[in-house]
């Protein structure tokens, strides 16, 4: 188990304030059918894929990934990124 980009982000949907990573990682997010750790990993992978798509100027893939990133962020209750 590892901490990633969402480890320090607080959720507006779940009471994560002051929670350590081990406990936070186990929070189940029903809309995503995964726990916080799995959602964090999916978000991290989506961001990496988005950066690759942006580097190759693949607008269609960037749009798909932007929607995926925003959906994960929304269901986790963390700040939603505004894409241009």
Strand partners of residue 29: 34
First to last CA, the chain: 33
Q: What are the structural domain ranges in the chain?
A: 29-76
* Cβ-contact 50, 69 below 8 angstroms: yes
Name the residue with higher pLDDT: 84 or 58: 58
- Say if residue 69's pLDDT is above 50: yes
* Cβ-contact 37, 23 below 8 angstroms: no
* Cβ-contact 46, 69 below 8 angstroms: yes
Residue pLDDT, tens place only, 12-64: 999 998 899 999 999 999 999 999 999 999 999 999 999 999 999 999 999 99
pTM of the full structure: 0.87
Tokens for 25? 């990682």
Helices 59-76, 36-55: axis angle to 10 degrees equals: 160
Residue corresponding to tokens 């942006």? 54
């Amino acid at each position: 188990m590892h901490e990633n980009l969402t480890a320090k982000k607080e959720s507006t949907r779940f009471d994560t304030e002051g929670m350590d990573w081990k406990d936070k990682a186990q929070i189940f997010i029903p809309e995503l059918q995964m726990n916080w750790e799995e959602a964090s990993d999916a978000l991290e992978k989506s961001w990496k894929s988005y950066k690759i798509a942006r580097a190759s100027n693949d607008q269609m893939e960037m749009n798909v990934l932007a929607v995926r990133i925003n959906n994960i962020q929304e269901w986790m209750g963390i700040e939603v990124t505004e894409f241009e």
